[in-house]
Amino acid sequence: MGMPANVEIGSHVWVEDPEVAWIDGIVINIEQDEVEVQTSDGKTVAVSSSRIYPNDVEALSGGVDDMTRLQYLHEPAVLHNLATRYEINEIYTYSGNILIAVNPFQPLSHLYDVYVMERYKGAPIEGLSPHVFTIADVAYREMIKEGRSNSILVSGESGAGKTETTKMLMRYLAYLGGHSGAEGRTVEQQVLESNPVLEAFGNAKTAKNNNSSRFGKFVEIQFDKKGRISGAAIRTYLLERSRVCQISDPERNYHCFYLLCAAPHEEIEKYKLGNPKSFHYLNQSNCYELVGVSDAQEYIATRRAMDVVGINEKEQDAIFRVVAAILHLGNINFEKDEDIDSAVVKDEQSLFHLQMTADLLMCDPLSLEDALCKRVMITPEEIIKRSLDPHAAAVSRDGLAKTIYSRLFEWLVDKINVSIGQDPNSKCLIGILDIYGFESFKANSFEQFCINFTNEKLQQHFNQHVFKMEQEEYAKEEINWNYVEFVDNQDVLDLIEKKPGGIIALLDEACMFPKSTHETFAQKLYQTFKDHKRFIKPKLTRSDFTIVHYAGEVQYQSGQFLDKNKYYVVAEHQDLLSASKCSFIAGLFPPLSEESAKPSKFSSVCSRFKIQLQQLMDILNSTEPHYIRCVKPNNLLKPATFDKINVIQQLRSGGVLEVIRIKCAGYPAHRTFSEFLIRFGILAPEIFKGNYEEKVACKWILEKMELKGYLMGKTKLFLRAEQMAELDAKKARLLRNSATVIQRHFRTYTTRKDYIVLRKSSIHIQSHWRGRLARELYKYKRKEVAAVKIQKNLRRQLARRAYTDIRISALVVQTGFRAMAARKDFRFREQTKAATIIQTCWRCHRAVSYYKKLKKASVISQSRWRGRTVKNLEAATIIQAYWRRYRAVSYYKKLKTASAISQCTWRRTAGKEHSNVKMAIRETGSDEEENYKLEKQVEELRCCFPSEKHPKMDLEETKTQEIDESWFSLQTSQNKVDETNALPPEEHYAVLRTIAVHPAVIETSTPISDSKKVENLNAEVKKLKALLLSEKQRADNFERTYAEVCKLSEKRRKKLEETERRVYRLQASLNKMLYSMSDQFAELKMILYASSNSNSTSLPVKIDVQADVAPNNSDASSSDSDFTFPVPALASVDFSSPDPNAFQLIVQDLSTTEISGSDNGDKEGAFDDFF
């Protein structure tokens, strides 16, 4: 971190802020060690001078792409530069040879296309903007030129974009290498296609990331002598085994468990699975689904990825069989046996899951239960089988689940490596390390301890690399660097891994003692490291401990350290699974060698991880490292949001600020001579007058400012942080003094200029005022003359207006009297015409009523005729053959039903048409222009009705007679049939046949032979057939005649409806005319009355209005009485005397006797329907 600045009043500085980490401000007051600063948000704060840092106001608005070029290299400057570049979508920034990548949380495809890769291919690092392709290109070029392997270390917290950055690196290396693997796929593609498999079995949701990798990954891309990719390998580190059995809310277990629960229905039935909430290993958290992620689709994608990496169908089924077995295994619960202190399976549900686990693992259920609930102890004398209590049995169950899952994950990694293929002859490689970043949560357990131990090792490697780059920079400038201070974190590493007194050694020692607990382990730590500066014992706790890491203090809970550190396979579990009938499961647990099978052989997770980590460090030390630090700008995973508090914490934990601290320990300000002269040449302006070399001029400035302790190289000047701040302060003071002089001279100039302008303005104002006074006097005189003229014109206007009003009034009175006389004449003519129209309407109404009577009679005659026809047909059928009686009766019933339906349909249609006619008559309007036409049409209809009445009545009478004859014939036949049915059986058949021959035949006493009877009957039958045929022809004729009559009736009905609509419109017009006439009469009366009062010289006007209403009876269908429309008599033109015999127009209601034939309740004949 840079040293605090020596500032003065007016200096721009950075101040700590609890909301935005650092905020800029201006110094407004200084009192000893306390500085008062006004921040950019308007607040005023007082801080210690050691807690503020100078702000470079001359920095570029878009930031710098390399933070070593910042004028002030400290924490707020680095944070502000990253935020400035993030706002303009510049997500990559250099810090020396280190690349800082800020996750944009949005696609930026234009940064990674083939055109961009071509631009960065072989380009110098100074020529283009920072990019992840630059790091890959530098590593590839160094490997080709020097023949030495390189490595790229990608680190950052969960969700910072490490995996995506790794993919981009591999894409670019594949673009440079250009080697095709098996089946036409590149090695890089094969590695990427393995990602879905590894993510399904090695990733899980955490509190910070929905797809967090719970293992470290180191990808080795191998190259041949020509620089082409020849192979690749994936190495994994520290899979989080405990997550299989223990998860906390709102985290999830590994993705594969949820994918299998969302598999197709056949798979679920096959493995007897269900909702994730029903499994103990999944329902410890309330989170079962991820927002925007479909587990069913991810399951299909994972199966497809397995096909790509070479895992066949049989192996896939075995893999998911193991995953399902782990889920069922977690649902096996234990309870204490009633007789002895041992564990037994709790209930039927647990027995079901035990059976399913055994079936899926293809082992014996009893052997599985014994492996979970019992332990075998071998002594020299005998073999003892010891039962476990329920808690120990649950621990054994969880241990078996973790062992199976870790073996399955190792098998997947080995299978992927075999699928990708490795080149044993490769001499050079580029390794890409995707490792978890520094973690510090509220609850930190064994996994965080191992992760932070890894980051301490990588940070040491990182610090050494940064210090080495500083050494190269000093050597390049031929500067002695031996006295530059370098702070290492070796003491923390010794605290963790030193033997025999490190934390890992004490943990392994505690694991080897059966009676050790986490509390005894914590007390051992307290005693051993009570004086260590990196170890702290927290207050109010008995088992927690705190380690001061390079990124800050982390408090660990040692409650599960011992259980999670034990790495061994229980012999019973090994024997059970190695004997499985499934070759895949047996292959996960091969038989152990005699050396590893010894009970005294102890292996811990820490010791194994330490060996793996040391192997990784050996690989990194043998390569040329390159660093990429990924930063997550916010925890909401939203674009264009830069949370400075979150970012500054990641910069601290990622070691970026540690690099700054290392640089600030030496000479952080590296400036070329030309850059220094441009920035600080103003401090010694005399150097610009002479022709001096840049180095000499820089030295002149530093000596004039009395600075010491700086270093001058061949092309650069090296300054400490406080020296840079002091130069900026002196420059600011000089500029402030110069500004004061400039302001003084400028104020003198502006004051004199204002005085001259004011003097000229006063003279101009006086001249203007005198002119204004003269103009005002002239305006007054001019207004006086204008007033006289206005008064003259106003008097003339008033006189003319009075005359005009009198003349207009006279004209109005004359017009009113003339209009009254004209309206009288018009009303007389209209009322006379109205009486004629009303009479026409009544005649139309009477014609409609007659039409409806005729229509009803026609329907009745048709119904009777059809009934008679049906009955004649049935009688003929009964007479023809008695054995067809049932069939004839059925036919009669059908004809009778059809006739009834026909009549009902006709009546319903007639009713609807009748209603439509009424509605049309009510809704249709009319105007006065059609009145005359309607009167003519009504007269024509009146003439047509009498001529059409007689043929229709004759037809109805004919049909009625025919129907009566048919009905009488049918009734007679039916009576004879009834008499025949009442005879004895012997005479029944003979009588029936006799009646069937002819209804008029009478029995005689003369005996007749059978043959003669048969002949007579046959003759009668022939006559009846002929008669029946003639009746059918007659019926057909009647049908045709009836159809013609129906068509004619329909035409006349439509014509009558149109006439009724026109009559209704005529009636509406008549009503409007009557209302208008009454209104006009009232107005005329008022006008005459007003005229008689206003004009005293006029003669009196008398109007006699007589109204007489003749009473008359009205039936139920009419509600109107006689109407009288008084019409005033026209007087003489001079209105001297009105006509005493004023006429009256009386419209009497027609007698109800003419419409008595109408149906009861039918009001369409009522007079009020037309008004």
Question: Which pLDDT score is estimated for 682?
Answer: 83
| Residue 206 to residues 153, 157, 442, 446, 855, Cα–Cα distance (Å) | 23, 12, 13, 16, 91
Q: Is the pLDDT of residue 559 over 70?
A: yes
Question: Which pLDDT score is estimated for 1077?
Answer: 77
Q: Which of 149, 212, 604, 926 is an active site residue?
A: 212
For strand 1144-1147 and strand 624-631, is the pairing parallel, antiparallel, or unpaired? unpaired
Q: Is the pLDDT of residue 927 over 50?
A: no
Q: Which of 2, 159, 216, 502 is an active site residue?
A: 159
Contact 1021, 907 (CB under 8 A): no
For strand 552-557 and strand 98-102, is the pairing parallel, antiparallel, or unpaired? unpaired
Q: Which of 2, 181, 431, 437 is an active site residue?
A: 437
Question: Which pLDDT score is estimated for 926?
Answer: 44
Contact 48, 33 (CB under 8 A): yes
How many CB atoms are located within 10 Å of the residue 537 CB? 14
- Check if 213 is active-site: yes
Question: Which pLDDT score is estimated for 995?
Answer: 46
- pLDDT grade for 1131, boundaries at 50, 70 and 90: very low
Report which of residues 222 and 1132 the model is more confident about: 222
The amino acid at residue 1014 is V
Question: 883-907 burial string, b = 16+ CB within 10 Å, else e?
Answer: eeeeebeeebeebeeebeeebeebe
Q: Is the pLDDT of residue 175 over 80?
A: yes
- Check if 209 is active-site: yes
Question: Which pLDDT score is estimated for 295?
Answer: 92
Residue 839 makes CB contacts below 8 A (sequence gap 6+) with none
State pLDDT tens for residues 347-405: 899 999 999 999 999 999 999 998 999 888 776 667 778 888 898 899 899 989 999 99
For residue 120, the Cα-to-chain-centroid distance in whole angstroms is 40
Question: Which pLDDT score is estimated for 594?
Answer: 56
Report which of residues 693 and 279 the model is more confident about: 279
Per-domain residue ranges of the chain: 1-55, 669-719
Tokens encoding 670: 């590296």
Q: How far apart are CA 396 and CA 245, in angstroms?
A: 11
Omega before 500 within 30 of 0, i.e. cis: yes
Report which of residues 252 and 1126 the model is more confident about: 252
Q: Phi/psi class of residue 283: alpha, beta or left (left: φ > 0; alpha: ψ in -120 to 50)?
A: alpha
524 is in an annotated binding site: no
Question: Which pLDDT score is estimated for 888?
Answer: 63
First to last CA, the chain: 105
161 is in an annotated binding site: yes
- Check if 559 is active-site: no
Q: Is the pLDDT of residue 172 over 50?
A: yes
Report which of residues 1070 and 1009 the model is more confident about: 1070
Q: Which of 95, 151, 195, 213 is an active site residue?
A: 213
Q: Which of 199, 220, 240, 439 is an active site residue?
A: 439
Report which of residues 913 and 150 the model is more confident about: 150
Q: Which of 39, 97, 163, 1124 is an active site residue?
A: 163
For residue 974, the Cα-to-chain-centroid distance in whole angstroms is 82
Q: How far apart are CA 321 and CA 267, in angstroms?
A: 10
Question: Which pLDDT score is estimated for 949?
Answer: 42
What share of the chain has pLDDT > 90, as a percent? 28
Q: How far apart are CA 712 and CA 468, in angstroms?
A: 20
State pLDDT tens for residues 568-595: 778 888 888 998 999 999 999 888 765 5
Closest CA to 973 of 1000, 947, 952: 1000
Q: Choose the most confident range, by mean pLDDT, from 101-110, 652-661, 876-885, 1120-1129.
A: 101-110
- pLDDT grade for 771, boundaries at 50, 70 and 90: very high
156 is in an annotated binding site: yes
- Check if 330 is active-site: no
Q: Choose the most confident range, by mean pLDDT, from 609-623, 660-674, 1040-1054.
A: 609-623
- Check if 333 is active-site: no
Mean pLDDT, range 195-221, rounded to an integer: 87
Mean pLDDT, range 1134-1144, rounded to an integer: 38
Mean pLDDT, range 655-672, rounded to an integer: 70
Mean pLDDT, range 514-524, rounded to an integer: 89
How many CB atoms are located within 10 Å of the residue 106 CB? 9
- pLDDT grade for 1102, boundaries at 50, 70 and 90: very low
Q: Is the pLDDT of residue 910 over 60?
A: yes
Mean pLDDT, range 668-688, rounded to an integer: 81
159 is in an annotated binding site: yes
Question: Which pLDDT score is estimated for 1130?
Answer: 35
The 3-class SS string of 739-766 reads: HHHHHHHHHHHHHHHHHHHHHHHHHHHH
Tokens encoding 1005: 């006493």
Q: What is the mean pLDDT of the chain?
A: 79
State pLDDT tens for residues 47-106: 988 888 888 887 788 888 888 778 787 889 999 999 999 999 999 998 877 899 999 988
Q: Is the pLDDT of residue 608 over 50?
A: yes
Contact 154, 654 (CB under 8 A): no
240 is in an annotated binding site: no
Q: How far apart are CA 796 and CA 1025, in angstroms?
A: 118
Q: Is the pLDDT of residue 115 over 80?
A: yes
What share of the chain has pLDDT > 70, as a percent? 79
State pLDDT tens for residues 868-896: 887 777 666 666 767 676 766 777 778 77
Q: Which of 84, 151, 158, 452 is an active site residue?
A: 158
Question: Which pLDDT score is estimated for 1146?
Answer: 32
- Check if 1158 is active-site: no
59: phi then psi, degrees, rounded to nearest 5 = -65, 155
How many CB atoms are located within 10 Å of the residue 704 CB? 13
Question: Which pLDDT score is estimated for 601?
Answer: 52
Q: 1-55 has which CATH code?
A: 2.30.30.520
State pLDDT tens for residues 968-1002: 655 665 565 555 555 555 554 554 454 444 444 33
Residue length, the chain? 1171
Count Cβ atoms within 10 A of the Cβ of residue 767 and give its class: 0-12 exposed, 13-18 middle, 19 or more buried.
Answer: exposed
Question: Which pLDDT score is estimated for 484?
Answer: 53
User: 1163: which DSSP letter?
Assistant: -
Question: Which pLDDT score is estimated for 1105?
Answer: 34
Mean pLDDT, range 605-615, rounded to an integer: 87
Most distant pair of Cα atoms in the chain: their distance: 176
Q: How far apart are CA 804 and CA 801, in angstroms?
A: 5
3-state DSSP: the chain helix, strand, coil percent, rounded to 5? Answer: 60, 10, 30
Q: How far apart are CA 988 and CA 982, in angstroms?
A: 8
Contact 922, 1064 (CB under 8 A): yes
In this prediction the pTM is 0.59
Alpha helices in 97-245 (DSSP H): 114-120, 132-146, 162-177, 187-193, 195-202
